[in-house]
Amino acid sequence: MSREKNLTGQPKSLITGGETRYIFKHQVLNRYLVRYFCCLQTGFIQTEEPFWLDEAYSSPIANIDLGYVNRNIESSRLVTDLIDRCLPDFSSGLDYGGGYGIFVRRMRDLGFQFFRQDPHCPNLFAVHFDRADAPGQQFDVATAFEVFEHVPNPREVVQELLELAPTIVFSTELQPNTTIRSVNDWWYFIPETGQHISFYTRESLEFLAKQFGAKYYTDGVSLHVISREILADEPFPPQRRATLFQRGLRKLHRIIKRVVDSPMPAQRASLLKDDFERVRRLLNKPNQADHE
């Protein structure tokens, strides 16, 4: 479906349907010069109509997505905690855009009846637990991790998810509280892959929730809930975030103490950031002529 445009040819906002303004252009997939626009009402950023997506998804999981395994493990912890506190009557869930099925496999291993839906990626780890394997199944929660930034139609996706389940748990990075004038102002654009095309603010996600009669919750960084139900607890209460911070602080203190009191080496630092930058450099090597 083509995106709506105003009389001057500017695309309409994918969130509000209102006006946008041009903010910058940048090469996507190292060959297409793409324009980026900002929603005047909510600050949501979108690309021009993404004609390059077939090429971008020649591999369903981008080579630069090196945090894929760890993200699924961490997501299972977060969702387990959220279900236990906020959805005491939970019966089943659906992982939308479930990739290779690692999250679904992990949740089932933890005792949660989860199924997977993703027509664009092979199911390697949750075979026989796709949505098609549970015809007529009603879901209490739909999860969508690192999906929203990929979709060219956010309103339609939120509507579809709320038809599948009354509560959506999803992740996507919120824009930083700084003025964005170029791709270089925020790491999350990742134009090398061509897969990130929608970039949210708190206001844009609040607008989407209200549009469908739902309430929006956020941890203020990257984890979000949109729900039409009255939840048993706040998904991200300030005191719980403080507790998590305190736990992290105690862990840091233990590491420091071990280094000071023991000849044993400190815990190894993750190579994820260095690996990400290495793959990014490889993707940015000149390959083909640019096209306007």
How far CA 183 is from CA of 11, 51, 66, 191, 275, in Å, comes to 19, 19, 20, 8, 20
Note whether 23 and 179 are within 8 A (CB).
Answer: no
Residue 97 has pLDDT above 70, yes or no: yes
Top-confidence range, 106-110, 168-172, 235-239, 241-245: 168-172
Task: Identify the pLDDT of residue 62.
Answer: 65
Specify the range with the lowest mean pLDDT, choosing from 118-132, 217-231, 250-264.
250-264
Tell me the H-state helices in the chain: 53-56, 68-86, 102-109, 154-164, 202-211, 238-261, 272-283
Task: Identify the pLDDT of residue 261.
Answer: 52
Kindly report, residue by residue over 187-229, the tens digit of the pLDDT.
999 999 999 999 999 999 999 999 999 999 999 999 999 999 9
State how beta strands 215-218 and 141-145 pair. Answer: unpaired
Angle at 243 between CA 242 and CA 245, to 5 degrees: 65
11 φ, ψ (degrees, to nearest 5): -70, 145
> Whose structure tokens read 């000849």?
263
Kindly report, residue by residue over 76-92, the tens digit of the pLDDT.
999 999 999 999 999 99
- Alpha-carbon span 182 to 194, nearest angstrom: 16
Residue 288 has pLDDT above 50, yes or no: no
The packing angle between helices 68-86 and 102-109, to 10°, is 40
How far from chain centre, in Å, is Cα 199?
A: 10
For the chain, give the mean pLDDT. Answer: 86
How far CA 203 is from CA of 10, 39, 103, 177, 199, in Å, comes to 21, 11, 28, 12, 12
Q: Is 224 helix (H, G, I), strand (E, B) or coil?
A: strand
Task: Identify the pLDDT of residue 68.
Answer: 80
DSSP classification of residue 189: G
Q: Of the candidates 176, 146, 124, which has an alpha carbon nearest to the alpha carbon of residue 71?
A: 146
Residue 27 has pLDDT above 50, yes or no: yes
Amino acid 259 reads V
Domains and CATH numbers, the chain: 68-174+199-239 (3.40.50.150), 240-277 (no CATH)
Extract the tokens encoding 46. 């979108």
